[in-house]
Amino acid sequence: MKTENRSPIPQLISRRRFLQWSIGGLAALATLEAAGVTFLYLQSQAATTEFVGVVRAGVLDDFPPGSVTEFAGSGFYLIRAHDGGFLALCRRCPHLGCIVNWEHNTNAFYCPCHASHFDSLGNFQNPPVSRALDRFAVEIDGDEVLVDTSRLTRRQQFDPHELVYTSS
Ligand code: FES
Protein backbone atom coordinates (compact mmCIF):
# COMPACT_ATOMS: atom_id res chain seq x y z
CA MET A 1 0.00 0.00 0.00
CA LYS A 2 1.34 3.35 -1.03
CA THR A 3 1.12 6.19 1.47
CA GLU A 4 1.47 9.82 0.64
CA ASN A 5 3.99 11.63 2.67
CA ARG A 6 3.47 15.31 2.28
CA SER A 7 5.64 17.77 3.99
CA PRO A 8 3.70 20.61 5.70
CA ILE A 9 6.26 23.19 4.53
CA PRO A 10 5.26 23.29 0.83
CA GLN A 11 1.63 23.65 1.90
CA LEU A 12 2.52 26.55 4.16
CA ILE A 13 4.43 28.27 1.38
CA SER A 14 1.60 27.65 -0.99
CA ARG A 15 -0.94 29.07 1.42
CA ARG A 16 1.26 32.04 2.10
CA ARG A 17 1.62 32.72 -1.60
CA PHE A 18 -2.09 32.30 -2.06
CA LEU A 19 -2.75 34.80 0.70
CA GLN A 20 -0.20 37.23 -0.75
CA TRP A 21 -1.79 36.99 -4.17
CA SER A 22 -5.25 37.36 -2.68
CA ILE A 23 -4.28 40.42 -0.71
CA GLY A 24 -2.46 41.88 -3.69
CA GLY A 25 -5.44 41.20 -5.91
CA LEU A 26 -7.86 42.76 -3.44
CA ALA A 27 -5.63 45.81 -3.06
CA ALA A 28 -5.45 46.20 -6.85
CA LEU A 29 -9.21 45.80 -7.11
CA ALA A 30 -9.80 48.37 -4.37
CA THR A 31 -7.43 50.80 -6.11
CA LEU A 32 -9.19 50.34 -9.43
CA GLU A 33 -12.57 50.79 -7.81
CA ALA A 34 -11.44 53.96 -6.03
CA ALA A 35 -10.01 55.32 -9.27
CA GLY A 36 -13.24 54.51 -11.09
CA VAL A 37 -15.39 56.18 -8.44
CA THR A 38 -13.13 59.24 -8.46
CA PHE A 39 -13.27 59.45 -12.25
CA LEU A 40 -17.06 59.19 -12.29
CA TYR A 41 -17.33 61.80 -9.55
CA LEU A 42 -15.05 64.24 -11.36
CA GLN A 43 -16.87 63.59 -14.62
CA SER A 44 -20.23 64.28 -13.01
CA GLN A 45 -18.86 67.48 -11.52
CA ALA A 46 -17.26 68.69 -14.73
CA ALA A 47 -19.07 71.46 -16.50
CA THR A 48 -21.10 70.30 -19.46
CA THR A 49 -22.50 73.72 -20.22
CA GLU A 50 -22.30 74.89 -23.80
CA PHE A 51 -21.23 78.48 -24.07
CA VAL A 52 -23.36 79.72 -26.91
CA GLY A 53 -23.04 83.49 -27.00
CA VAL A 54 -24.79 86.49 -25.53
CA VAL A 55 -27.08 85.83 -22.56
CA ARG A 56 -29.59 88.48 -21.56
CA ALA A 57 -29.16 88.15 -17.82
CA GLY A 58 -31.79 90.67 -16.71
CA VAL A 59 -32.28 94.33 -15.89
CA LEU A 60 -30.06 96.29 -13.53
CA ASP A 61 -32.56 96.26 -10.69
CA ASP A 62 -32.62 92.45 -10.74
CA PHE A 63 -29.13 92.48 -9.24
CA PRO A 64 -28.75 94.41 -5.99
CA PRO A 65 -25.24 95.61 -5.06
CA GLY A 66 -23.35 92.91 -3.16
CA SER A 67 -25.21 90.05 -4.87
CA VAL A 68 -24.14 86.84 -6.58
CA THR A 69 -26.61 85.31 -9.04
CA GLU A 70 -26.12 81.86 -10.52
CA PHE A 71 -26.89 81.16 -14.18
CA ALA A 72 -26.36 77.41 -14.08
CA GLY A 73 -27.59 76.71 -17.60
CA SER A 74 -25.30 79.33 -19.07
CA GLY A 75 -22.31 78.41 -16.94
CA PHE A 76 -21.61 81.60 -15.01
CA TYR A 77 -22.21 83.61 -11.85
CA LEU A 78 -23.11 87.25 -12.22
CA ILE A 79 -21.56 89.32 -9.46
CA ARG A 80 -22.71 92.82 -8.68
CA ALA A 81 -20.09 94.40 -6.45
CA HIS A 82 -21.02 96.70 -3.59
CA ASP A 83 -20.11 99.73 -5.73
CA GLY A 84 -22.54 98.60 -8.46
CA GLY A 85 -20.01 97.12 -10.92
CA PHE A 86 -20.74 93.85 -12.72
CA LEU A 87 -18.51 90.83 -13.21
CA ALA A 88 -19.44 87.46 -14.78
CA LEU A 89 -17.41 84.50 -13.50
CA CYS A 90 -17.22 81.13 -15.21
CA ARG A 91 -18.46 78.28 -13.03
CA ARG A 92 -15.65 75.97 -14.15
CA CYS A 93 -12.80 75.51 -11.74
CA PRO A 94 -9.46 76.42 -13.41
CA HIS A 95 -7.90 73.25 -11.98
CA LEU A 96 -9.82 70.38 -13.62
CA GLY A 97 -13.09 71.97 -14.65
CA CYS A 98 -15.41 70.98 -11.80
CA ILE A 99 -18.36 73.24 -11.08
CA VAL A 100 -17.69 75.67 -8.25
CA ASN A 101 -20.50 76.40 -5.81
CA TRP A 102 -21.32 79.73 -4.24
CA GLU A 103 -21.41 79.53 -0.45
CA HIS A 104 -23.43 82.43 0.87
CA ASN A 105 -22.37 81.84 4.50
CA THR A 106 -18.67 82.18 3.81
CA ASN A 107 -19.06 84.61 0.90
CA ALA A 108 -16.85 82.41 -1.27
CA PHE A 109 -16.88 79.97 -4.16
CA TYR A 110 -15.97 76.41 -3.29
CA CYS A 111 -14.78 73.61 -5.58
CA PRO A 112 -16.08 70.24 -4.34
CA CYS A 113 -13.45 68.23 -6.21
CA HIS A 114 -10.26 69.31 -4.46
CA ALA A 115 -11.53 71.85 -1.94
CA SER A 116 -10.15 75.03 -3.46
CA HIS A 117 -11.85 78.27 -2.47
CA PHE A 118 -12.23 81.56 -4.35
CA ASP A 119 -13.33 84.89 -2.93
CA SER A 120 -16.42 86.70 -4.21
CA LEU A 121 -14.41 88.26 -7.06
CA GLY A 122 -13.00 84.89 -8.13
CA ASN A 123 -9.51 85.17 -6.62
CA PHE A 124 -8.16 81.77 -5.58
CA GLN A 125 -7.52 81.22 -1.89
CA ASN A 126 -5.78 77.86 -1.67
CA PRO A 127 -4.18 75.11 -3.79
CA PRO A 128 -4.38 73.09 -5.95
CA VAL A 129 -5.75 76.00 -7.96
CA SER A 130 -3.19 78.68 -8.76
CA ARG A 131 -5.24 81.33 -10.54
CA ALA A 132 -8.58 83.10 -10.45
CA LEU A 133 -11.84 81.93 -11.97
CA ASP A 134 -12.16 82.87 -15.65
CA ARG A 135 -14.52 85.68 -16.54
CA PHE A 136 -16.93 86.39 -19.36
CA ALA A 137 -17.42 89.73 -21.09
CA VAL A 138 -20.23 91.86 -19.65
CA GLU A 139 -22.04 94.69 -21.42
CA ILE A 140 -24.83 96.94 -20.27
CA ASP A 141 -27.35 97.84 -22.93
CA GLY A 142 -29.77 100.45 -21.59
CA ASP A 143 -30.89 98.92 -18.33
CA GLU A 144 -30.17 95.37 -19.44
CA VAL A 145 -27.15 93.29 -18.43
CA LEU A 146 -25.67 91.09 -21.17
CA VAL A 147 -23.07 88.37 -20.67
CA ASP A 148 -21.17 87.09 -23.70
CA THR A 149 -20.28 83.46 -22.96
CA SER A 150 -18.29 83.19 -26.18
CA ARG A 151 -15.76 85.70 -24.83
CA LEU A 152 -13.88 84.05 -21.99
CA THR A 153 -10.87 85.68 -20.37
CA ARG A 154 -8.36 83.64 -18.45
CA ARG A 155 -6.90 85.67 -15.59
CA GLN A 156 -4.45 85.37 -12.75
CA GLN A 157 -6.33 87.54 -10.30
CA PHE A 158 -9.07 90.14 -10.09
CA ASP A 159 -8.37 93.57 -11.54
CA PRO A 160 -10.77 96.43 -10.65
CA HIS A 161 -10.87 97.39 -14.34
CA GLU A 162 -12.80 94.19 -14.98
CA LEU A 163 -15.92 95.60 -13.32
CA VAL A 164 -18.49 96.95 -15.76
CA TYR A 165 -20.65 99.95 -14.82
CA THR A 166 -23.62 101.72 -16.31
CA SER A 167 -22.63 104.74 -18.37
CA SER A 168 -25.09 107.05 -16.59
S1 FES B 1 -11.13 70.80 -9.93
FE2 FES B 1 -11.35 72.45 -8.55
S3 FES B 1 -9.73 72.23 -7.17
FE4 FES B 1 -9.50 70.56 -8.55
CATH of the domain at 156: 2.102.10.10
pLDDT of residue 42: 56
Band of residue 35 on the pLDDT scale cut at 50, 70, 90: low
The answer to whether residues 15 and 61 belong to one domain is no
The answer to whether residues 73 and 15 belong to one domain is no
Alpha helices, H only, the chain: 8-45
Q: How far apart are CA 21 and CA 83, in angstroms?
A: 65
Report the nearest atom of ligand 1 relative to the CA of 111.
2
Give the Å distance between the CA of 67 and the centre of ligand 1. 24
Give the Å distance between the CA of 127 and the centre of ligand 1. 9
The answer to whether residues 129 and 76 belong to one domain is yes
The answer to whether residues 80 and 26 belong to one domain is no
Number of domains in the chain: 2
The answer to whether residues 69 and 34 belong to one domain is no
Range of the domain at 102: 54-162
pLDDT of residue 43: 53
pLDDT one-digit tens code per residue, 70-101: 999 999 999 999 999 999 999 999 999 999 99
Residue 145, phi then psi, degrees to nearest 5: -100, 125
pLDDT of residue 36: 58
Supply the residue whose CA is at minimum distance from atom 1 of ligand 1. 96
Residue 102 lies in a domain: yes
The answer to whether residues 66 and 16 belong to one domain is no
The answer to whether residues 59 and 120 belong to one domain is yes
Residue 1 lies in a domain: yes
Residue 117 lies in a domain: yes
Reported pTM: 0.74
Give the Å distance between the CA of 92 and the centre of ligand 1. 9
